[in-house]
Structure 1
Amino acid sequence: MLVAALATLLVPATPAYAHAVLSSTSPVADTVVPTAPAEVVLTFSESVRKVTDKIRVIGPDGNRVDRGEPTFNGSVVTIPVDQGGPRGTYLVSYRVISADSHPVSGAFTYSVGNPSEPPTDDGSDRADPVVAAAIPVAKYLGYTGLLLVVGPVLVLMLLWPQRLSRTGPARLVWTGAGLITVSTLAAIWLQVPYTNGGGIFEGSGAALGDVLGSLYGTVHLVRLGILLAAAFLLWPLLHGDGRATRSDQVLLGILGGAALLTWPLAGHAAAALVPAVSVVVDAVHLAAMAVWLGGLVMLVAFLLRQADDRELAAILPVWSRWATFAVCALLLAGVVQALLEVGTPQALFSTRYGQLIIAKVVLFAVVLAVAAFARKLVRSRTAPEEPGRMRKAVWLELGIAAVILAVSAVLVQTTPARTAVAGGRDGGVEYFTTTATSSIYSLQIQMDPAARGNNTVHMYAYTLDNRPLPVVEWRATIALPDQGVEPIDIALLSLTDNHAFGDIRLPAAGDWQMRVTVRISEIDQDTVTVTVPVT
């Protein structure tokens, strides 16, 4: 997994994923255009989905000028606009769903003719603070429930002395299952106002149906189904003779693995740079956490209190090996996750996501120090004779781990560092736009970012009096003659009659020469050349 993650850092740069960011707009944000556009185009860093009636264009007079439903084509959103609106400043507000199920909202302005006092939005789609706070709480309950199920079930199947009662551990497991159920139902319910804006009890049946019909809702429903199936297999283990057959153990393992996958599939991992690696790594991370911390709960709550010296002498060395393996898996998976989601040292220190990663590392280091002390007790074989010291060490481990889980619950709701750094381009430092004029048309060209790596190019054709101009054929090349780079074809895809876009990878910095040929009829075409400074 570590090699796979390192490989992703060595391959050519690709667009950042998880939490989409607005890459470019047309008209360009904060600019003045001579005539009202027929459409407003938003380009995001990844594919986005619609939130009903949450994309608006408001004119200088406060009235909406967007007409009809916006068109979603992957990462490009096209909004039809009434060209008969007054001159002045327009406000474009948007709320869309990124590939990792998180809503992304924002706004920008452009002006027609001349700037004016910007209009205001009613703010009805803003995130409710109660909803924003409740989501990490629900996730925290889910993580807690997971460790109360996985760790105790493993201990009961493989380490629990037959003479001891299973009543206490059974209550622990059912409590964990209840917490997972509550967390899952709460996550589904909270996703409605989280997606659409509004309070915790605001929503509609249609909005709930949209959530249930999405990948996010499907994954959570699957989790509930797996939990129900697992309950039938757990009942004889918890309330019968305590002996699980080999087939039951295999089935529980399969169900447990499937359930673990539902967490990453409903979060950042499913929309990461390498989804297959990220989902597996995240599931391993959760499994290792649940085995380690769930086993610690069983030790401190039951075994260190109820087992005798002979039983502890047999159990603790085995548990110590389990814990060591789980901690190693946890550490490795955490490193891979950080490499995938952070990417650069700058992102690690300059973003909230990176700072939360650092906090987790520091807390994890403290937990490892405490765990090393507990392991020393086990290896010196003093733990069975001095269970009190062992209990104190385990309680300290669990206390710090509880804080780590809280940090994790916040982390999964935070924009990944890669995306946050990519989103920093919104100020326009690496954004290029220009207008080239030929004898038969005017061409607006935009490139984002104007930097080495992957770039998105948008082109808009207008008549010489600034009306949208239908185009029959687009052709474009880009070259860097100073460094001997021959012309590279840019594959352009028409989005509307006068709007085309394409993707290109520029391998070096310099003044690139772009040649664009626009054909507007069987016989009428012309070519323009522009210089694109790439950093």
Structure 2
Amino acid sequence: MPDVWGLAAIGAKFALYLSILTSAGTVMTALLFRLDHHKDFALKFALLGLVATILTFALRGAVLTGDVSGMSDPEILGLLWSTPVGTALALRIGGLALLILGLFIARSGLWLSAFGGILAIWSFDHVGHVSGRDTTLLDIALTFHLIALAVWIGILTPLKRLASTQETWPKAADVGHRFGVIASFTVPLLIVAGGYMGVILTGSTAAFFGTGYGQALILKIILVAGLLMLAAANKLRFIPNLRAGDPRAAKHLSHSINMEWLVVLAVLGTTATLTSVLTLPT
């Protein structure tokens, strides 16, 4: 069982993943599918991301000193600033600041916001288990993995909003169909990237099944499999039925999206645990 600092680290990392991926995914899907009503949603999660970023950094100081004083100790925080942890902090703050700025720019703002979101996502390459491996392919796999997940998260709320009223059902069906086409290419790559990272990080089948890290990774795989099943139901049944004008399909799609959100939260919670308190197999 993690101690109080471990639990705090898991909570902060969960908030960090949720806020960065949701805000970045929201602006990227708004750009890809020309969606409206994204500004307030993206802004809320970007602001949460700034808070989570600072809290995560400060908690590193507390872990080093073993008490709450490390969260505000200038010497400790200055030491952290000179490490990759400081680089990640700068990328997250800079990226989220650009994302927020872009939300208030009328014409090219979404492009700036999307760039800021990708910059914030790229910060995860600089800290954590992947950062300890000097492998460019692993860095690329992680960045693609997170961007693909961000786009998946980003489409959920707009799609549910469009499916909530009869007037926007055609738009919901169109957006869902177009996202399904993109997912047909990106999801297999997402699975390959995740599998590649799992093999590289665990190192062996025995480590995969016989360690806490490996078991948590198995749980994450099971959750992702459930997410894929829900997505398949959307693509193969609910979206086609909605395009055909079936009013029941909109309700089924909304329920499916609610389930997807629950599974996404579980995936992010498992990932936060993996990257906060569990160590790689040796």
TM-score, scaled to structure 2: 0.89
Cα shift at 1:309: 3.1
> Alpha carbons of 1:325 and 1:194: their partners in 2 closer, same or farther (altered >3 Å)?
farther
Structure 2 partner of 1:368: 228
Q: Deviations over 1:47-93 (max 9, x none)?
A: xxxxxxxxxxxxxxxxxxxxxxxxxxxxxxxxxxxxxxxxxxxxxxx
Matches for 1:162-181 after TM superposition, within 5 Å: 166=37, 169-181=38-50
Cα shift at 1:318: 0.5
Cα shift at 1:325: 3.5
Equivalent-residue separation in structure 2 for 1:200 and 1:323 (angstroms): 46
Matches for 1:47-126 after TM superposition, within 5 Å: none
- Gapped runs of 5+ residues in structure 2? none
- Gapped runs of 5+ residues in structure 1? 1-127, 420-535
Contact 1:320-1:378 at 8 Å conserved across structures: no
Q: Does 1:399 align with 2:268?
A: no
Which letter does structure 1 place at the counterpart of 2:169? D
Compare the two structures and name the one with the higher strand fraction.
1
Which letter does structure 1 place at the counterpart of 2:163? L
Q: Does 1:305 align with 2:164?
A: yes
Structure 2 partner of 1:189: 58
Contact 2:20-2:45 at 8 Å conserved across structures: yes
Q: Which has the larger radius of gyration?
A: 1
The match for 1:229 among 92, 98, 115 is: 98
Cα shift at 1:253: 4.3
Structure 2 partner of 1:152: 26
Contact 2:29-2:151 at 8 Å conserved across structures: no
Structure 2 partner of 1:411: 274
Secondary structure of the residue that 2:241 maps to in structure 1? coil
Q: Does 1:265 align with 2:126?
A: yes
Equivalent-residue separation in structure 1 for 2:69 and 2:250 (angstroms): 46
Which letter does structure 2 place at the counterpart of 1:265? H
Matches for 1:427-442 after TM superposition, within 5 Å: none
Cα shift at 1:187: 1.1
Secondary structure of the residue that 2:164 maps to in structure 1? helix
Q: Deviations over 1:110-165 (max 9, x none)?
A: xxxxxxxxxxxxxxxxxx9221111111111111112321222133223246xx6x
Secondary structure of the residue that 1:381 maps to in structure 2? helix
Which letter does structure 2 place at the counterpart of 1:185? I
Cα shift at 1:252: 4.2
Secondary structure of the residue that 1:382 maps to in structure 2? helix
Alpha-carbon RMSD across the aligned residues, in angstroms, is: 2.2
> Alpha carbons of 1:346 and 1:158: their partners in 2 closer, same or farther (altered >3 Å)?
closer
Structure with bigger RCO (C-alpha 8 Å, 6+ apart)? 2
Which letter does structure 2 place at the counterpart of 1:206? E
The match for 1:338 among 198, 207, 232 is: 198
Contact 2:28-2:114 at 8 Å conserved across structures: no
Contact 2:19-2:45 at 8 Å conserved across structures: yes
Matches for 1:191-340 after TM superposition, within 5 Å: 191-199=60-68, 204-236=73-105, 240=106, 244-245=107-108, 250-272=111-133, 274-300=134-160, 302-306=161-165, 308-340=168-200
Q: Deviations over 1:335-358 (max 9, x none)?
A: 011011011110011111110111
Cα shift at 1:219: 2.0
TM-score, scaled to structure 1: 0.48
Contact 2:216-2:274 at 8 Å conserved across structures: yes
Equivalent-residue separation in structure 2 for 1:276 and 1:205 (angstroms): 33
